[in-house]
Structure 1
Amino acid sequence: MNLRDAISIVEAEGLPGAFFGKPEHDYADSTVIHRGDNGWIVYVTDERASVVPTGTSHFTNESDALDDFISRLRDLKKYNDLSKKLFGH
């Protein structure tokens, strides 16, 4: 997978909370992918916009990082959809 593919998937599937590149500050319930000094980093934030330490992964190549990024976004969408169905919010 490449960046163009990932952007297309996010847009086509309406995946929530996606950030390509390190934002100036973190946002609540988001998934971020960015290039670090030693490769690619994918992480998630919680409802208070804090980085979840156990939700941070490091990759040596872009394709694996993007696969993980899209997988996390899809899981979040499934969770949000189920939560709306069960609890109405």
Structure 2
Amino acid sequence: MSYDFVEKDLAHIRNVLNHLEHSAGNLHACETGAAIDLHWWRARIQAVLATPLLPIHIERQARDLLVRLDHLPDQSGLRTGDAR
């Protein structure tokens, strides 16, 4: 089974997180404004983790992205991993 799509999706998410991390201080001033939904990105990563027979190197990449996502503040001021 080819995991090319999954790896490309993770690469895309990594690029988005790079952008968000560099503009974290200005999340409200981003041109996308309220369209930034960190929970949506989390769901995409979790969908990758739910892929059957996921190779360990892809699982590690996905889990690393979740950790990075947890360190970004969402629009309510909570981190994405915090309970509401």
Q: Normalising to structure 2: TM-score of the pair?
A: 0.33
Higher helix share: 2
Q: Which has the higher contact order (CA 8 A, sep 6+)?
A: 2
- What's the TM-score, normalizing by structure 1? 0.31
Q: Give the structure with the higher percent strand.
A: 1
